[in-house]
Structure 1
């Protein structure tokens, strides 16, 4: 199976540019109610994922930092505590499932590292759940 089946394209995904400010990230994440968002560079390449935790840890460790000050901090200057790995659009399903087991979403890149979308863990789970459900129904019908 091609992992593109699960892809939510970039045009339908919220992402941040690494030259955006911490405040812009906070506002966008709050508006969309996301706890983590992919970050891309000026060339559209996947640069990592920023999480609420990354932003909160920065504020915790800088007690003099006010919300107003967050408009002066670039996302590129926010330390990231977790490295969310991207997969190539040509990756196999096993690699995808392995990453999805520890990431809410898996960023997907093309052969040049350009961000093209995400695959949500929930979409993978729902797909395999439906396969198991159909198999169960078939076995129950066969037993009757």
Structure 2
């Protein structure tokens, strides 16, 4: 099975860059109601996933930092506590499933490690649920 079947393309994904500020990403995550988003660099390469927890720990551990001056802190200055791994677009379904167990979404990159989208764990679960319980479909 080709994992591209599950891909949500970059154009439909909420993400940030290393030069996005904490304030901007806090607003974005609140608006979209996300607890984590992918981070890319200036060349479009996936560099990690930022979580609400990462932002809270930065606020807690930085004297004088608050919501008002969070617009002065770039994401490149925010340590990320988890290393969410990505998959290549030509990866197999087993690699995707292994990562999706511990990640709400799996970032997808091309051969140059350029970010091209995500695969949501919910999409994988829904597909296999439909496949198992709807007799019209079969696992490919």
TM range (shorter): over 0.9
Q: TM-score, structure 1 length as denominator?
A: 0.92
SS of residue in 2 equivalent to 1:19: coil
Aligned residue for 1:39?
39
**Aligned-partner Cα distance in 2 for 1:73–1:10:** 25
Match for residue 112 of structure 1?
Answer: 112
Indicate the SS of the match to 1:85. Answer: coil
Instruction: Report how many aligned residue pairs link the two structures.
Output: 137
Which 4+ runs in 1 deviate beyond 2 A? none
Q: Give the deviation of 1:107 after TM superposition.
A: 0.2
Unaligned runs of 5+ in 1: 139-144
Residue-by-residue CA offset, 1:77-105 (whole Å, 9 max, x unaligned): 10100000010001000000000000000
Rg comparison, structure with higher value:
1
| 1:35 CA drift (Å) | 0.4
Structure 1 or 2: more helix by fraction:
1
Where do residues 119-138 of structure 1 align in structure 2 (5 Å cutoff)?
A: 119-135=119-135
Unaligned runs of 5+ residues in structure 2 are: none
**Aligned-pair Cα RMSD in Å:** 1.4
TM-score, normalised on structure 2?
Answer: 0.94
Q: Give the drift of 1:134.
A: 2.1
Whole-angstrom distance in 1 between the partners of 2:67 and 2:9: 32
